[in-house]
Amino acid sequence: MTYSLPLDWIEEKTAEALAEDLGDAGDITSLATIAPDSHSEARFVARQDGVLAGLSFARATFLQLNEAVIFTPRKQDGDHLQKGDVIAQISGPTRALLGGERVALNFLGHLSGIASATRQFVALTEGTKAKISCTRKTLPGLRAAQKYAVRCGGAQNHRFGLYDAVMIKDNHIAAAGDITRALQAAKDYVGHMVKIEVEVDSLQQLETVLKAGTTSPDGFLPFADVVLLDNFSLDDLRTAVAQNKGRLVLEASGNVTLKSVRAIAETGVDIISSGWLTHSAPNLDIGLDF
């Protein structure tokens, strides 16, 4: 992988998950039934085909419980998994393996599920110029992990928060008065170094965005960089692409599914964003076998 998450952040998140699961008393089942000096070996195994993500979360989970645990990966994040593949092997104190099992599987299953769903979307858009992107519809506290999983699946990330890009939506437009006024104010506020995206829900609004800008000796400078075409029909998406004439980046969003994504990509838009990737992707079935 050419991208990763900070180890200290991963350790923070796994520590939170372990604290939630173990509470103050710890794993009382293992404490009652497993001898303190017991050691075991186990394997993470894929129960279905998919794409792996979250291996570092699993490793951090066990090492926080006991540094004597040996975690040996057999696959890497981003790898395609087939049912029955061994993802990693672990060995160490049995209580630590049992105590971290569910937390490790929760991270692996959830993040691998996102990566797997993302890879399906990406595969369906092959041969078009459209790129798949996620959104900010993520679980509180786990946005970076979920967006990392999207990257493992072969797609790209949208903005990470309200702080790293301007995105003018319908409520901003309503509060500001109109699209042009909102765009002018945004351009004046952030200058030329920050991208500005604006959401439109009609071809008429798109035309307004295309005309909003300033004229300089070098020509017309639009206020917006990206336009989000919200819930456009396929016919309107094609019209929008023709209307745009390659001037601004066009992003299609709204009700994007595995059944619809190919047709959307074939309209000629640049980006297709889907909140489903992070808020509704099914868990990938992974087991830990002793």
Residue-wise DSSP of 31-44: HHHS-TT-EEEEEE
Q: What is the pLDDT of residues 26-37, one digit of tens each?
A: 999 999 999 999
Q: Are 218 and 239 in contact (CB under 8 A)?
A: no
Q: What is the mean pLDDT of the chain?
A: 96
pLDDT for residue 164: 92
Q: What is the identity of the amino acid at 193?
A: M
Same fold, 7-122+282-289 and 165-274: no
Site of tokens 């017309």? 220
Catalytic residue among 159, 169, 195, 247: 169
Q: How far apart are CA 233 and CA 179, in angstroms?
A: 21
Domain range summary for the chain, segments of one domain joined by +: 7-122+282-289, 165-274
Catalytic residue among 137, 143, 238, 247: 137
Please confirm, yes or no, whether 201 is among the known catalytic residues: no
Please confirm, yes or no, whether 20 is among the known catalytic residues: no
For domain 165-274, the question of CATH label 2.60.40.640 is answered with no
pLDDT for residue 194: 93
Distance of CA 18 to the CA centre of its chain: 23
Q: Are 201 and 233 in contact (CB under 8 A)?
A: no
Please confirm, yes or no, whether 11 is among the known catalytic residues: no
pLDDT for residue 2: 60
Q: What is the pLDDT of residues 199-233, one digit of tens each?
A: 999 999 999 999 998 887 777 889 999 999 999 99
Architecture of the CATH domain 7-122+282-289: Alpha-Beta Complex (3.90)
Q: Which residues contact 160 (CB under 8 A, 6 or more apart)?
A: 136, 143, 144, 147
Q: What is the pLDDT of residues 266-289, one digit of tens each?
A: 999 999 999 999 999 999 999 999
Catalytic residue among 197, 199, 251, 270: 199
Q: What is the pLDDT of residues 32-84, one digit of tens each?
A: 999 999 999 999 999 999 999 999 999 999 999 999 999 999 999 999 999 99
Catalytic residue among 230, 236, 266, 285: 230
Please confirm, yes or no, whether 181 is among the known catalytic residues: no
pLDDT for residue 61: 98
Please confirm, yes or no, whether 247 is among the known catalytic residues: no
